Each structure stands twice: as C-alpha cells, then as structure tokens.
C-alpha cells in the first residue's frame, strides 16, 4: 500500500535541502547558454497575495524548465522598497518606515520560500539598502555629467494630501490617485531626467522587440506620441490691432490647412496670456478658463468628447499666408506641455476646433475637402474665400483637395500630402516656419518632497549654484532619525541639509528632495547580474554574460511607465559603455488578474484569498499547479476552491501512480507488447506536448498532457495483470510523469524522484526528458472508403487522425474520385477508426 499524498510531510524538507545544496545558486558559466528569467519585483506592502503567487509561479516554471533544458539560469528576486505606502503605514502604526518595510520583506521572503520558488537568494536586491541606492545616486551623477539632469521651474501637480508633487499620470480627474485630494497646480522648481532626448530611439527600438505583446508596444508608441509637422510663426498685434515685431509660434501637423484658420488658441498656462488680458475687459472670463483648466488633468483636457471652455482675449495675430487677422482665444483643450502651447485653429479640419467653433459661433470655411465632393467640384479653382461655413456634422481630417487656399488651391491636401510639403517650403523660404517633430513624451519629473526615498545627491550653493555631490562622498545616506508621525521630511532636519559646498567650501544647503521610486526599479535587473559589486552598479563582464533579460513577466499596469523608464536607463547605461544591449527585456509576458466572483482580488475590497491559508491546507505544489491550470497566463483567472481541490486530487493520483509502480517488483521484460507500446507512445507524446506548451506558456494544456499520461498509465495497470506488466515501460512512464511535473510541483517531484523512485541527485538537475519521435508515432490503421455502399479504396492513416482530415483524404483519393466522377457528393459519413462512406448522385 502506498501512503497518502501529504505535501506537509516533505515540502519544507526539500526547501531546506535545496538551500543547503545551493541548488539555485548560479554563477557565470561561459560553457553553457544562459537564460535570464525575471518577474517584476514586489513592493513589500504586506503579505503576498494571489497576484504574486501567479506572477512568481509562472516565472518559476519557466526558470525550472530552462534549467532542465540545459540553460544556465539566472532567476533572482528582490524588493522595490522605497515609497509612500511605507510612510503612510508608519504614520498609522507609529513605527519607522524602515521597520515596516524590512518586516514585510521578511514575511514575503518566508512566503516565497514556502512556495518553493527557485531564487538565487544570494542576489536579492532591496532598493532601500544603502548598498543599492548609492548606485542610484551614482547613476544620477552620471546622467548629470551627460546633460540628462535638469532642475527647472514649471507648473506641476501638487497633492496637498500627500504633500508632494505627482506625475501627470497620477492625477485622475483632478484628484490624487492615492489619497483622492484635489490636486493643485503649483509653479515649482523640480528635478527632471531628460528622457525626451531618447524619444526617437525609444520609439524606433520598439521594432526590435518582437517578443513583446503588440498592445504594450502600441501603448508605449502612443505615450511617446511622435508627430511630424511644422512650426508656423504668427505675428502678434497690439491693442489697436497693429502688427508688432513679436511672433507666436504654433505646432501643427497640417500646414496645408493654413488658409482655414479662423481663430488662434493659447493654453491657459501660456506665459503670454497674463500680458494680453491683464486689466482688460476680457480678463475675468479668461481667468475663469484658467481656473477650470487648473483643476483638470491633462488627459481629461485633451479628450475630444469633452465640453470645452474658452474665452477671447480681444487681441489678434496675423496669419502669415494670407495676412488675415484672427482673434486669440484661451481654451482649456490646449495643453501647455504639448507643441508650443499655441494652436492655429482650423475648425474644418480638426474636430476639437470644429466643436469649439460651433460652441462659440465662429466661422468654419472649408479648405481641404474630399476630392469627389460637390464642394471640390465647386471650389476646385477658387483661391479666395467664397464659402465661409460648412453644413458638416464633424471636421474632415482625411486626404482631399485644397480649396480656397490662394496659390495652393487645387493641390492634394491632407497629412504628408504634396500640398502640405509645398506650404512648408513656402514658409521656410520666407522664414515664417519650417518642418519639425513634436512628442507627447515629457521629461521625467523625479523629485519628491517625501522622506522614504533615495536622496538626490546635490547641493545648493549661493555662490556656485547647483553642485553635484562628489562621487567619492556617495552615498548621501538617508538618515534614520526622523519623526515620521509628525510628517517630517529631510527639509525638517538641519543636521541633514546643513553642509558645505563641495566646490567652494562655503556654507551650503543639501538637496532635501528624494527620487521617484521608479528610478529604483529602472535598473534593478542589472544589479541582480552582479549584486555584490562594490566598485560599480554592475560590471561590464556580468552584463555581457547575462543581459538582456530573456523573459520578463509582470502586470500590464506597468506597460508604460516602468517599462519605458527601464528602457531609457538601459540606453543610458549603453551610452556610458556599461552594457552592450540596447533593450533590457527581450520577451515580455503580461499576466492577467486573479479575481474572486468577478471582482479583482484586493485588500481594499476585502475579497482576498490568502495564499498562506491555501498552502496550509493543500500545500504549495497544489496551489502552484492550480494557478497555472485554471487559465492561460495572459487571461484573468477566476478563483475557485473546487478547482484547487481538484488539482490537489490530481497530485494525489501522481503520487499513487509513481508509488505503486516503484513498489512493484520488476516483472515482464523484453520487447513490449501492444499495450506496453501504447503506453510508451503516450509517454513520448506527453514529453513533446509539455515541452512545446511550456515554450508557448500554455501551462494549462501542458498539465492536461501530463494528466492524460497519468490516465494512460493507470489504464495500462488496470488492463494488464500484475505479472504481465512491462517493467521498463511502466517505469519510464512513472519517471517521465515525475520529470514533467518537476517545474510545476517541485516538491512532489523531488520527493518522488529521490525517495520513491530512488534516483540519484535532484530531479531539478536532470536533463529534460528526450522525446522519441519513433515511439510517439501513432499506430496505423487501414480504413475502407465506400462510395454508394461499395468499397472503392483503403487508406492507411494514423489511428488518431481527425475525422475532418480523414474525410478530406477520402475525397482526394484518385479511386474515390473516379467513382464519384461527374456526380455530386451528397453526404460523407466518417466512422472514426472504421470507415468512410461517401454518398454521391
Ligand atoms: C492645425 C490643424 C488642422 C491641426 C487640422 C490638426 C488638424 P497630434 O497629431 O496629436 O500631434 N495642437 C498642437 N499643439 C497643441 C496643444 N498644445 N494642445 C492641444 N492641441 C494642440 O496633434 C497635433 C495637432 O494638435 C496640431 O495640428 C494642432 O492642431 C493641435 F486639420 O494644427 B493642428
Ligand atoms: Zn559653492
């Protein structure tokens, strides 16, 4: 009798044994191909949740399989340990952010160990460790040297609740994404990393990433938002409407529509606005638009369906192509951060201008119209403006013909059209504008007025200005004595900020802002390659061996920011000569959510199933197998206790099968008979399917293949009497089940391998089982094909042929076709494994 499957009897035993044996420790080995498997590192917010279990189990299966397939595998873990939640939790529970953070890290570390994840713990990286963040500061200095760091004043999002600035994407409908306070615009001096210098490369190199989901690449491209167009200079008029020497430049993607400009727009934040309206009758209305704009996020303001707010300034500009004076308005849908913050409004061609014109009763003369339209017919040769309004419901932005456009009338118009190029040339020759490219991507605002982060290594000196902290003085240590419950920051600690200038030696003030935690997560995957380096963030040799990450796994919520920032850092590392790679992550898998009764599991909704509870009941292996079996990794997964129960029972069947087979005294040997041959075939088919499915991340179907093999082996043992069973074939099936299960249920497989089957060494150090194509080949059958009841042909086919395929072969047979001849096939009946019957008449 084989004992009952009891994961608690051995899971911990193997975790300790693996540690003791150093099974997952890894070093560079030029004799072996490498594979770097990485899951996005966690934020230590508390206990692990099912999202973690899913993310890290996927990575663990990929890593363990790669190791058995002969790769030298780097599979590390660490913690993204700086950030605001630690401060908030510390305030609430009257502890120190460090205490809270390191406490949670220990909890998570223990849970990851219990899950049996194959991490090289020696390489663990914790971003709030001095040994890590000092290299973040070093990186900041390197970027500064390269001109990639800038401190400048601009209107930023200020959250009074969190008492810090926020990035644009952290403002949702005018409120802070974290604390929901209304966000204010403040003009503040902040630190920026000039990611825009890499905008073109970040966009173009998306093409080098065939292993990334198209959706993520599209999101990145959209975020970078490269637009080709032109700058056009409009002359500003004074209060009396007389042209001045001053010009205002706009960015447009459609210079071919210049003759359709009927008004001119400035962003509410545009520096000219104050000067134009101060003390005039227009001022109060304009101020109202400014207030509305200040309370909206950039994303909301830019949305085309939204109600628009605008007000005239009473001032005018001159259109350079036709000398026409148009009025300057202020409108909230114009963003200061895009283009030049000024827009030539063309209501016939731009939907937002169209809606604005309708709202305020401004004219909409057509200038680019579809070539086959009545308007084109009528205005084809009309250079002056005859038609001042259209009867359209929306703007027309497609290609067409230019009308009412002076000397350009009759030319093709539209994006990148011949007409557009002619207009740009015309402007360029006269010094009124020229070709340009604009990006939606902004420089990265990285300074935060919060304590729990990486101090920015800079000093403010009255005499010397901004001075970098010398490399030799790194790290600027984050002081631990802070009263976080009083909301203190570094700016409240004179013993921190009072310093001397590294350049002139005079009294100076140390920068008290810390860096956005996204800077910490932008390069941690390089640190894993060389985690203990004390002379550099990582060595070139380590990067040459390990970089890039071969497989990255994480949530879709990081599709833009983290991945974009990491790509940026990698390119800077490359330009510093620290790595040869252009891109950090060769392949990306974005995993779906874990839901309970249709809702995403989350602490705030109170609908979490705690992984630790499930391990207590079913063991780690059942949880791992369950989470992979229930859905393909990219899809959302609906939690089900029955499903987990079912996978636990499946592991019990594996346990019993391998146990019984290994307990049996060797019996029959010699050439396998038909039944044994069939079992061998199932064994090798399972090897092929599981191998292929893991490569494609189809873990659920891979597990189905193992289940089928277990069934086939059980069938064999049921159908064949004990004394007749083929010892070699049976044992091959049991060994194969064990090896194939090793990445999924590592503890069970190890127990079976070492203790039950009595094999030598760890199952995880074995070579992935080799697939024998000959053995896997299906039996062949002879299938008679009848035409109208008479056998006309006999097909030799694989026993497991699909009925549809069999039907196709039957109808293609020369002999069958000869007998169908000019008749019509009325019906084909396929009796699988037996017969095909064709009725023709
Ligand atoms: C005139 C025009 C005519 C425009 C037309 C479009 C169509 P994309 O393609 O997204 O780059 N624009 C320029 N700066 C802006 C700002 N700061 N805030 C809001 N809108 C701005 O968008 C470029 C177009 O968006 C520009 O081309 C400009 O409108 C507007 F038939 O100029 B266009
Ligand atoms: Zn100085």
Measured from the alpha carbon of residue 461, the closest ligand is: 2
What is the mean predicted confidence (pLDDT) over 91-106? 94
Nearest CA to ligand 1 atom 32: 252
> Is the CB of 681 within 6 Å of ligand 1?
no
Nearest CA to ligand 1 atom 11: 227
What is the mean predicted confidence (pLDDT) over 686-715? 96
Please, is 669 exposed, middle or buried when counting C-beta atoms within 10 Å of its C-beta (0-12, 13-18, 19+)? exposed
pTM of the model: 0.86
Is it the case that residue 836 has pLDDT exceeding 80?
Answer: yes
User: 613 with 639: CB under 8 angstroms?
Assistant: no
Nearest CA to ligand 1 atom 6: 350
What is the mean predicted confidence (pLDDT) over 150-169? 84
Residue-level pLDDT at 129: 98
Copy the structure tokens of residue 502.
């590294």
> Is the CB of 252 within 6 Å of ligand 1?
yes
Measured from the alpha carbon of residue 509, the closest ligand is: 2
* Cα 469 to averaged position of ligand 2 atoms, centre (Å): 11
Q: pLDDT confidence of 305, banded at 50, 70, 90?
A: confident
Q: pLDDT confidence of 492, banded at 50, 70, 90?
A: very high
> Is the CB of 89 within 6 Å of ligand 1?
no
Q: pLDDT confidence of 161, banded at 50, 70, 90?
A: confident
Nearest CA to ligand 1 atom 12: 343
Nearest CA to ligand 1 atom 22: 253
Nearest CA to ligand 1 atom 7: 350
User: 164-168, 181-185, 389-393, 479-483: which range is least confident on average?
Assistant: 164-168
Nearest CA to ligand 1 atom 14: 339
Phi, psi of 159 (to 5 degrees): -100, 115
- Cα distance between residue 127 and residue 83, in whole Å: 10
Q: pLDDT confidence of 601, banded at 50, 70, 90?
A: confident
Highest mean pLDDT of the ranges 84-93, 704-713, 722-731:
704-713
- Looking at ligand 1, which atom is closest to the CA of residue 260? 3
3-state class (DSSP) for residue 626: helix
Task: Name the residue with tokens 């350049």.
Answer: 503
Best residue among 227, 254, 399 to mutate for probing ligand 1's pocket (most ligand atoms within 8 Å of CB) is 254
* Cα 253 to averaged position of ligand 1 atoms, centre (Å): 6
User: 37 with 59: CB under 8 angstroms?
Assistant: yes
* Cα 462 to averaged position of ligand 2 atoms, centre (Å): 6
> Is the CB of 293 within 6 Å of ligand 1?
no
> Is the CB of 350 within 6 Å of ligand 1?
yes
Best residue among 222, 339, 419 to mutate for probing ligand 1's pocket (most ligand atoms within 8 Å of CB) is 339
The answer to whether the peptide bond before residue 26 is cis (omega within 30 degrees of 0) is: no
- Cα distance between residue 356 and residue 301, in whole Å: 13
- Cα distance between residue 673 and residue 675, in whole Å: 6
- Cα distance between residue 741 and residue 116, in whole Å: 14
3-state class (DSSP) for residue 728: helix
What is the mean predicted confidence (pLDDT) over 745-764? 97
- Looking at ligand 1, which atom is closest to the CA of residue 302? 19
Measured from the alpha carbon of residue 253, the closest ligand is: 1
Mean pLDDT (the chain) is: 94
Q: What is the pLDDT of residues 18-46, one digit of tens each?
A: 999 999 999 999 999 999 999 999 999 88
Q: What's the distance, CA 209 to chain centroid?
A: 12
> Is the CB of 234 within 6 Å of ligand 1?
no
What is the mean predicted confidence (pLDDT) over 255-269? 97
Percent of the chain with pLDDT over 70: 99
Copy the structure tokens of residue 106.
């220990």
Measured from the alpha carbon of residue 501, the closest ligand is: 2
- Looking at ligand 1, which atom is closest to the CA of residue 345? 1
DSSP-assigned letters across all residues of 776-834? HPPPEEEEEEEETTEEEEEEEEETT--HHHHHHHHHH-HHHHHHHTTS-EEEEEEETTT
Best residue among 253, 306, 403, 404 to mutate for probing ligand 1's pocket (most ligand atoms within 8 Å of CB) is 253
Phi, psi of 798 (to 5 degrees): -65, 145
Residue-level pLDDT at 150: 97
What is the mean predicted confidence (pLDDT) over 799-822? 88
What is the mean predicted confidence (pLDDT) over 622-637? 96
> Is the CB of 335 within 6 Å of ligand 1?
yes
Residue-level pLDDT at 510: 98
pLDDT higher for 538 or 176?
Answer: 538
**Cβ-Cβ contacts under 8 Å for 368 (sequence gap 6 or more):** 254, 256, 257, 260, 348, 349, 396, 399, 400, 401, 402, 403, 413, 414, 419
Tell me which H or E stretch contains 437. strand 433-438
Measured from the alpha carbon of residue 502, the closest ligand is: 2
* Cα 358 to averaged position of ligand 1 atoms, centre (Å): 18
Residue-level pLDDT at 1: 63
**Cβ-Cβ contacts under 8 Å for 79 (sequence gap 6 or more):** 41, 42, 43, 44, 101, 105, 108, 124, 125, 126, 127
> Is the CB of 334 within 6 Å of ligand 1?
yes
Best residue among 233, 251, 259, 330 to mutate for probing ligand 1's pocket (most ligand atoms within 8 Å of CB) is 251
Residue-level pLDDT at 335: 92
User: 340 with 231: CB under 8 angstroms?
Assistant: yes
Task: Name the residue with tokens 């094909």.
Answer: 785
User: 527 with 573: CB under 8 angstroms?
Assistant: no
The answer to whether the peptide bond before residue 475 is cis (omega within 30 degrees of 0) is: yes
Q: What is the pLDDT of residues 416-433, one digit of tens each?
A: 999 999 999 999 999 999
User: 440 with 151: CB under 8 angstroms?
Assistant: no
> Is the CB of 341 within 6 Å of ligand 1?
yes
* Cα 343 to averaged position of ligand 1 atoms, centre (Å): 7
Is it the case that residue 766 has pLDDT exceeding 80?
Answer: yes
Degrees to nearest 5, angle at CA 418 with 412 and 420: 90
Degrees to nearest 5, angle at CA 555 with 550 and 560: 85
Measured from the alpha carbon of residue 440, the closest ligand is: 1
User: 517 with 3: CB under 8 angstroms?
Assistant: no
> Is the CB of 554 within 6 Å of ligand 1?
no
> Is the CB of 346 within 6 Å of ligand 1?
yes
- Cα distance between residue 128 and residue 63, in whole Å: 27
* Cα 500 to averaged position of ligand 2 atoms, centre (Å): 8
């Amino acid at each position: 009798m084989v004992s009952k499957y009891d994961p608690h009897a051995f899971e911990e035993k193997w975790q300790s044994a693996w540690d003791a044996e150093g099974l997952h420790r890894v070093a560079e080995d030029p004799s072996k191909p490498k594979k770097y498997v990485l899951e996005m590192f966690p934020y230590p917010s508390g206990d692990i949740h099912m999202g973690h279990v899913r993310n890290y189990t996927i990575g663990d299966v990929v890593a363990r399989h790669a190791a058995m397939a002969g790769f030298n595998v780097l599979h590390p873990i660490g913690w993204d340990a700086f950030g605001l939640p630690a401060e908030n939790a510390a305030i609430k529970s009257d502890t120190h952010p460090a205490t809270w953070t390191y406490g949670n890290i220990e909890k998570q570390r223990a849970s990851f160990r219990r899950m049996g994840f194959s991490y090289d713990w020696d390489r663990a990286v914790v971003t709030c460790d001095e040994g890590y963040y000092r290299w973040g500061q070093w990186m900041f200095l390197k970027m500064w040297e390269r001109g990639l760091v800038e401190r400048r004043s601009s209107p930023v999002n200020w959250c009074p609740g969190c008492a810090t600035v926020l990035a644009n994407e952290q403002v949702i409908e005018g409120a802070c994404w974290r604390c929901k306070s209304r966000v204010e615009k403040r003009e503040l001096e902040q630190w920026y990393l000039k990611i825009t210098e890499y905008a073109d490369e970040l966009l173009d190199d998306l093409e080098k990433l065939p292993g990334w989901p198209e959706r993520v690449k599209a999101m990145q491209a959209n975020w970078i938002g490269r637009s080709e167009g032109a700058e056009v200079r409009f002359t500003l008029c004074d209060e009396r409407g007389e042209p001045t020497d001053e010009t205002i430049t706009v960015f447009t993607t459609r210079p071919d529509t210049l003759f359709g400009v009927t008004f001119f727009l400035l962003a509410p934040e545009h520096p000219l606005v104050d000067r134009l309206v101060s003390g005039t009758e227009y001022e109060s209305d304009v101020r109202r638009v400014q207030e509305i704009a200040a309370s909206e996020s950039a994303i909301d303001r830019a949305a085309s369906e939204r109600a628009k707010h605008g007000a005239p300034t009473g001032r005018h500009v001159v259109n350079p192509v036709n000398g026409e004076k148009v009025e300057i308005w202020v409108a909230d849908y114009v963003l200061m951060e895009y283009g030049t913050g000024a827009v030539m409004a063309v209501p016939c061609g731009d939907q937002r201008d169209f809606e604005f014109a309708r709202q305020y009763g401004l004219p909409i003369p057509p200038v680019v119209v579809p070539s086959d339209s009545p308007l084109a017919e009528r205005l084809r040769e009309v250079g002056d403006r005859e038609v001042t309004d259209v009867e359209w419901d929306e703007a027309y932005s497609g290609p067409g013909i230019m009308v009412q456009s002076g000397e350009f009338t009759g030319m093709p118009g539209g994006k990148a059209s011949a007409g557009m190029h002619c207009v740009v040339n015309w402007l360029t020759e006269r010094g009124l504008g020229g070709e340009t490219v604009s990006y939606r991507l902004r420089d990265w605002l990285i300074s935060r007025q919060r304590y729990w982060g990486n101090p920015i290594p800079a000093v403010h000196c009255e005499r010397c200005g901004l001075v970098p902290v010398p490399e030799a003085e790194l790290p600027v240590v984050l002081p631990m004595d802070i009263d976080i419950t009083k909301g203190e920051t570094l700016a409240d600690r004179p013993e921190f900020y009072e310093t001397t200038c590294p350049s002139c030696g005079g009294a100076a003030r140390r920068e008290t802002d810390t860096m956005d935690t996204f800077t910490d997560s932008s390069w941690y995957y390089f640190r894993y390659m060389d985690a203990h380096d004390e002379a550099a963030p990582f060595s070139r040799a380590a990067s040459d061996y390990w970089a890039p990450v071969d497989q990255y796994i994480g949530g879709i919520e990081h599709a833009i920011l983290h991945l974009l920032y990491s790509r940026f850092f990698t390119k800077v590392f490359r330009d510093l000569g620290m790595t040869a790679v252009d891109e950090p992550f060769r392949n990306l898998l974005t995993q779906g959510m874990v839901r309970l009764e249709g809702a995403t599991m989350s602490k705030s909704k109170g609908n979490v199933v705690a992984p630790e509870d499930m391990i207590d009941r079913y063991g780690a292996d059942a949880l791992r197998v369950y989470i992979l079996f229930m859905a393909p990794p990219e899809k959302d997964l609906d939690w089900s206790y029955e499903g987990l129960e079912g996978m636990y029972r499946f592991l019990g069947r594996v346990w019993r099968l391998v146990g019984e087979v290994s307990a049996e005294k060797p019996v029959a040997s010699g050439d396998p008979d038909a039944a044994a041959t069939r079992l061998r075939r199932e064994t090798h088919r399972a090897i092929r399917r599981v191998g292929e499915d893991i490569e494609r991340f189809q873990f659920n179907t891979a597990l189905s293949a193992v289940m089928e093999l277990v069934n086939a082996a059980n069938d064999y043992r049921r159908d064949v009497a004990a004394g007749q069973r083929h010892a070699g074939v049976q044992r091959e099936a049991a060994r194969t089940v064990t090896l194939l299960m090793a990445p999924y249920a590592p503890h069970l497989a190890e127990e079976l391998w070492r203790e039950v089957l009595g094999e030598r060494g760890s199952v995880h150090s074995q070579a992935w089982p080799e697939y024998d194509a000959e053995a896997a080949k299906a039996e062949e059958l002879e299938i008679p094909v009848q035409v109208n009841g008479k056998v006309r042909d006999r097909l030799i086919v694989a026993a497991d042929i699909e009925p549809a395929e069999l039907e196709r072969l039957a109808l293609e047979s020369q002999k069958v076709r000869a007998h169908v001849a000019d008749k019509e096939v009325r019906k084909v009946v396929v009796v699988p494994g037996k017969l095909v019957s064709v009725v023709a008449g």
